[in-house]
Amino acid sequence: MSTRPDLQVLTGPSAAELPAARDLAPRFPLTVNPSPADEETYRAVMDRLSFGVDFTDHMARATWTVDAGWQGHRVEAYAPLTLSPAAAVLHYAQEVFEGLKAYRHADGSVWTFRPGFNAARMNTSANRLALPELPEEDFVASLAALVAADDRWVPSTPGSSLYLRPFMFATEAFLGVRSAHEVEYLAIASPVGPYFVEGFQPVGIWVSEDHHRAGAGGMGAAKTGGNYAASLLPQQQAAEKGFAQVCFLDAATNTYLEELGGMNVVIVDADGTVRTPSLTGTILQGGTRGAILELLRGAGREVREETIYLEELRRQIRSGQVAEMFACGTAAVITPIGRLAGADWDVVVADGDPGPVTRELYTELTDIQYGLRPDTHDWMYRLL
Ligand SMILES: *Cc1c(COP(=O)(O)O)cnc(C)c1O
């Protein structure tokens, strides 16, 4: 096994291995926001649910210093931060983040999906960025405390959820180049609606042959803002051409698929085989990717993690060997891909219709998340 943590398959503690949320939440004592959103504002937000626009009344927080370690764990009013203009994150981008969701079930309870995985992944990312690890139980505790304080912000309309965004960054006011001695951890929350307002529509993907998001030995396997910064220009250029997202190729040979800016990519062949790029250290290990592969393998399907060469894939799409293609990540769960194009080529995947495997996976995974199917994998963790 590799000594590089970014090449190891992450699991983290399962829902059953974690202490109950009510026992973890007190680790982040609550100071109630004295001026929470009024009823009118709250109603307006919950009626228009979009992605990452509105935030709840509180945020979870802890501070790390090289001398004292983690301290000051708390939940307090959501508010702007005070930061030195010399804060290291603003200059050297020492930052990592996570993304998960809290789901309201029909009986009113609130659950999240594999928080132990996200806790473990944040620490893998933190290691790469020379940031301190946050104990996994504290990560989960911060979410339990935040959601307990902001219960009213967990929507209950179909397909909606409370998006949780934990993140950690270097606050030390110092322009010298080394890992910071002062770090802040925060978790904020945003009520979000169903990602597909116009239904489960396949999107067009632009394959970037002149920009890359990550290279060997770089930060590709870390969930860090820097990787997103690298993806913004090609993303903007693709959007101008009418494409929804960019798929990146490996930086070394520019020949095989890695992933989208914030989603992993999966191919379903006409013979039923499922393929996805293997974890090479330059792609981010998605929790959605992992869950989907587990569901497919559990259903007896052949699943391969391997190198997927663009040239071969284009041929296989044209010949009909590829039946379905989709991208996956927490925010949208599954995004069907109906078209793939690059500088001098353009192919349509399966007449641009999301196929049965894509649809069934979307239903199966979201049913588990919303408590509509049994959680046989022990993925769901009760927050409230
Ligand atoms: C977050 C992220 C994903 C998806 O991960 P999930 O755990 O499924 O949400 C994929 N690629 C990148 C680059 C990401 O940052």
> What confidence tens digit (pLDDT) does each residue in 330-357 have?
999 999 999 999 999 999 997 767 899 9
Cα 333 to averaged position of ligand 1 atoms, centre (Å):
10
**Confidence band of 325 (pLDDT split at 50, 70, 90):** very high
Cα 370 to averaged position of ligand 1 atoms, centre (Å):
20
Query: Does 172 lie in the same domain as 82?
Result: yes
The average confidence (pLDDT) of the chain is 96
With a cut of 50, say whether residue 171 has pLDDT above it: yes
Bridge partners of 111? 103, 382
pLDDT score of 2? 55
Average the pLDDT over each of 24-33, 174-183, 344-353 and give the range with the smallest value: 344-353
Specify if 306 maps to a domain.
yes
Q: What is the pLDDT of residues 240-296, one digit of tens each?
A: 999 999 999 999 999 999 999 999 999 999 999 999 999 999 999 999 999 999 999
Nearest CA to ligand 1 atom 14: 262
12: how many CB neighbours lie within 10 A of its CB?
Answer: 21
Average the pLDDT over each of 4-18, 45-59, 150-164, 322-336 and give the range with the smallest value: 4-18
| Ligand 1 pocket member 287 (CB < 6 A) | yes
Specify if 237 maps to a domain.
yes
pLDDT score of 9? 81
- State both tokens at 56: 């709840």
**Confidence band of 8 (pLDDT split at 50, 70, 90):** confident
Percent of the chain clearing pLDDT 90 (strictly above): 93
Query: Does 355 lie in the same domain as 215?
Result: yes
Cα 290 to averaged position of ligand 1 atoms, centre (Å):
11
pLDDT score of 194? 85
* DSSP notation for 135-179: PHHHHHHHHHHHHHHTGGGS--STT-EEEEEEEEEE--B--SSS-
pLDDT score of 201? 87
Of 155, 176, 195, the position where a domain reaches its end is 195
Q: Is the dihedral of CA 292, 298, 301, 305 positive or negative?
A: positive
Specify if 236 maps to a domain.
yes
Q: Residue 347 sits in a domain of what CATH number?
A: 3.20.10.10
**Confidence band of 7 (pLDDT split at 50, 70, 90):** low
| Ligand 1 pocket member 282 (CB < 6 A) | no
pLDDT score of 293? 97
State which ligand 1 atom lies nearest to the alpha carbon of 261: 13
Cα 83 to averaged position of ligand 1 atoms, centre (Å):
28
| Ligand 1 pocket member 284 (CB < 6 A) | yes
Query: Does 254 lie in the same domain as 352?
Result: yes
With a cut of 60, say whether residue 321 has pLDDT above it: yes
Domain count, the chain: 2
pLDDT score of 195? 77
C-alpha to C-alpha distance for 85 and 89, rounded to whole angstroms: 10
pLDDT score of 313? 98
Q: What is the pLDDT of residues 195-244, one digit of tens each?
A: 776 678 899 999 999 999 999 999 999 999 999 999 999 999 999 999 99
Q: What is the pLDDT of residues 43-53, one digit of tens each?
A: 999 999 989 99
pLDDT score of 353? 78
- Cα 381 to Cα 22, 82, 178, distances in angstroms: 12, 33, 37
pLDDT score of 283? 97
Query: Does 353 lie in the same domain as 306?
Result: yes
With a cut of 90, say whether residue 100 has pLDDT above it: yes
Torsion, Cα of 128, 129, 135, 136 (10° steps)? -60
Query: Does 188 lie in the same domain as 276?
Result: no
Specify if 382 maps to a domain.
no
Domain range enclosing 115: 5-195
With a cut of 50, say whether residue 1 has pLDDT above it: no
Of 147, 172, 195, the position where a domain reaches its end is 195
Cα 219 to averaged position of ligand 1 atoms, centre (Å):
13
Probe ligand 1: pick from 161, 264, 280, 379, max atoms within 8 Å of CB? 264
For 227, list phi and psi in degrees, rounded to 5: -65, -35
Q: What is the pLDDT of residues 135-163, one digit of tens each?
A: 999 999 999 999 999 999 999 999 999 99
| Ligand 1 pocket member 223 (CB < 6 A) | yes
- Asked if residues 247 and 257 have their Cβ atoms less than 8 Å apart, the reply is yes
Specify if 42 maps to a domain.
yes
